[in-house]
Structure 1
Amino acid sequence: MSQLFSPISLGPLQLDNRIAIAPMCQYSADEGLATDWHMIHLGHLALSGAAILFLEATAVVPEGRISSRDLGLWSDEHAAALAPVVQSIRRHSPIKLAIQLGHAGRKASSAVPWEGGANIAPGDGGWQTVAPSPVPHAQGESVPHELDAAGMQRVIDGFVSAAKRSHALGFDAIEIHSAHGYLLHQFLSPLSNRRQDDYGGSLANRMRFPLEVFRAVRAAVPPEMTVGVRISAYDWVDGGWDVEQSVAYAQALEQAGCHFMHVSSGGVSPHQKIPVGPGYQIGFAECIKRETGMPVIGVGMITEPVQAEQILVSKQCDMVALARAMLFNPRWPWHAAAALGAQVQAPPQYWRSQPREYKQLFGETKLGQR
């Protein structure tokens, strides 16, 4: 039996296979509100045959958006805009739904990628950013305000409120964004955290605020809701966050009730030097899997079914997540099932597309299950 198409549990959440669709920012919201684009984009990915779909990074407060076009969940109005998307997917797909909650910190107030992605200063139509320390992400960018106790509590309150709305919307899981150089990663990394108080300096201090956010979210939703964390395991810069610290963070999260780790890397510094290649981040996932008991999701230029299968067979991680490869080929799980001799769920409207040589490729789609 194919490992890629074997079942797995992320805490209380049961999944039919080990393919995840990773969060991918779309920069297509209107003042944080979901639009028709989200209905189309997420709707077609929900028919892919993957086991779980992670929604893009969703800001918990307005100033936490990467760009002005980011999705948000800081009010009931935002929840109401997202509800039809969730409900539509539920009617037509058995895929599990997770939402990634985050705060961009000093990397907020940026242009969308197709307009250059540069930082936008408050006087030029942007807004004042916040961070652990008043250190900009790159030379020439706006200097963020250092978060004080009240500011940190506002962030925690934002995560808690968004988590409660996520549960009310019917999401199966929450992923806390602690990667890619955004706020929680900024607290973790000594490259961005220069604080002299209890939230800076030692590893225990730098982990303190991200752990406070996790514990607050975990307490805000019922025990039967899966809560995990996305992490950048390595900064790719000398003197930055590294794998050993990531293992310590993962172990602390596990003790706090974390259900899974989603392991990526980089993003906190423009000086990073990343040797990109097939499966280039899987080794980080393997290290964390070896030192914890949580399921670990691996990512990083996973494009071929046999490659994904081998990663799982060799026990480097427990699931694989695809992002760009899934955009390029939204039926990647179908093709992977065909290549590995497995079966994948597909909507009955598409059953006639099954090639003759793969007569047992499609299984029945079971709707209304969570």
Structure 2
Amino acid sequence: MAPHARFNFKTLAELKAKIAELEVEIKLQDDLAPLSRRVRIGDQETPNSLAVLPMEGCDGTEDGAPSELTFRRYRRFAAGGAGLLWFEATAVVPEGRANPRQLHINRRNLPAFKELLHDSLEAARHSMGSDHRPLCILQLTHSGRYSKPFGQQQPVIAYHDPYLDGPAGVTPDQAPITDAELEQLQARYVEAALLAREAGFDGVDLKSCHRYLLSELLAAHTRHGKYGGEFANRVRFLLETIARVRAAVGDELVLAVRLSACDAHPYPYGWGVDREDCTRPDLREPKQLLHLLQQQGVSLMAVSAGNPYYNRPDVTRPFDTPLVGAAIPPEHPLESVARLFSVTREMQMAEPEVAIVGSGYSWLRQFLGHAAAANIAGRAVTLAGVGREAFAYPDFARDLLTRGYLDAHKVCIACSRCTQIMRDGGKTGCVIRDADLYLPIYKAGRASK
């Protein structure tokens, strides 16, 4: 591993030279035409190959509806021109919310979700033209051990994990969620999917990443019963829930999964990891799961890695500056980017018929389009997705598609402040590029700590 370093590249040539020096597999190309490719997903089609990944704003209302800040964010995302809008984590039960302002779709607030989608699509048409209609996916979640529905930790665990229990507020005598409770929870996912269809979304994602409940179940090696132990049991809940959702909605919705292909968490508590070195991916089981999901009708997957709540958040999101009080990562961010690209490439090659959305692009700043185009052209991914970059530069896709470059003065600088706001209990956005709104929130959160 090379020492950690901040982004300091003025030209594409400088970035290429550093990639060659580190001997990491990151390809860049000048031709950005692949970004304009339309992508067929089920019976739907995206207008291009760029995506906004699900990034929580932590700004919903008490009953889980989108607030004006939520509307503002998605109008900006939609007007920015991406072909796929992956709407953020939306709880299927109130006790599964990660914070008191996490979205939670239910019958009472369904009109607000309809309006959110309608306004987003109108913003896209107004900005990009009448024939531009992004694919819209709603992410459904249960936050599991990271549940804080009223601002205090109320963890729901699949099993005890000595690395995560303490920080999550799990007591030694806390009982894991039972098999019967998990079966009841499947019905809540079905209800949420039906509401998403009624609201007009094109598809739903059963969030299975970053050690939230469904992700944790995939690594339930130490759990007893039908949802733990051997591989078939650990993937059972996700596959059963997918099947129940498909039976309820038929072919009307795209079925998607955002998956941590490897979570960089020590075995036997980790998923997709080498048993000796958890930072080394072992994708045999994730590939097997992807195949089973494809057989059950999942046609879209966003690949991530790591656990941002554990000791290597850079595995999930390479950065220049860590959270306040956190350690500097032990590797260069380009090595972290290369790991995300490699994991995604292996998953895409394993199931070419599934549209895979990649991550890890934001750290590359104004050069992210060159990496995205190379990966799409090389069939290492179907669509390129950005998270933090969309907070900072919501019109990134429009600029790449119409101008052929990104403005270096508008890009995300990987400073972790958008994450720091969330950790401090505030509403999330870009402190640097959207400072009038979010800098006061950031300062208030820091003062409270």
Q: Same-fold call, TM > 0.5? A: yes
Matched letter for residue 314 of structure 1: G
For the 8 Å contact 2:308–2:314, the answer to whether it is kept is no
Number of aligned residues? 325
For the 8 Å contact 1:57–1:71, the answer to whether it is kept is yes
SS at match of 2:298: coil
Query: Deviation digits for residues 241-278 of structure 1, max 9, x if unmatched?
Result: 11221111111111111111110011286244745335
Residue 358 of structure 2 corresponds to residue 294 of structure 1: no
Where does residue 71 of structure 2 map in the other structure? Answer: 39
Alpha-carbon distance change, 92 to 268 in structure 1, aligned in 2, over 3 angstroms: closer
Alpha-carbon distance change, 273 to 323 in structure 1, aligned in 2, over 3 angstroms: closer
Where does residue 194 of structure 1 map in the other structure? Answer: 222
Where does residue 79 of structure 1 map in the other structure? Answer: 110
Matched letter for residue 166 of structure 1: A
Q: CA RMSD in A?
A: 2.1
Residue 86 of structure 2 corresponds to residue 57 of structure 1: no
Where does residue 224 of structure 1 map in the other structure? Answer: 252
Aligned 1:218-297 pairs, distance under 5 A: 218-239=246-267, 240-242=270-272, 243-267=283-307, 270-272=310-312, 274=314, 276=318, 277-278=333-334, 279-280=337-338, 281-292=340-351, 293-297=353-357
Q: Which runs of 4+ in 1 moved over 3 A?
A: 271-276, 338-341
Matched letter for residue 241 of structure 1: W
Residue 156 of structure 2 corresponds to residue 97 of structure 1: no
Q: Which runs of 5+ in 1 are unaligned?
A: 113-119, 122-127, 342-370
SS at match of 1:231: strand
For the 8 Å contact 1:236–1:273, the answer to whether it is kept is no
Aligned 1:134-213 pairs, distance under 5 A: 134-135=160-161, 137-143=164-170, 145-190=175-220, 194-213=222-241
Where does residue 3 of structure 1 map in the other structure? Answer: 34
SS at match of 1:130: coil
Query: Deviation digits for residues 169-217 of structure 1, max 9, x if unmatched?
Result: 0001211101111110000014xx5212121111111111111111112
What displacement does 1:289 show?
1.1
Query: Deviation digits for residues 276-315 of structure 1, max 9, x if unmatched?
Result: 3353411111111111131111111344211211111122
CA distance in 2, matches of 1:134, 1:37: 37
Matched letter for residue 62 of structure 1: P
Matched letter for residue 306 of structure 2: G
CA distance in 1, matches of 2:381, 2:73: 28
Percent of aligned pairs with the same amino acid: 26
Q: Which runs of 5+ in 2 are unaligned?
A: 1-31, 125-132, 273-282, 319-332, 406-449
Matched letter for residue 342 of structure 2: G
Name the stretch that deviates more: 276-285 or 134-143. 134-143
CA distance in 2, matches of 1:274, 1:237: 13
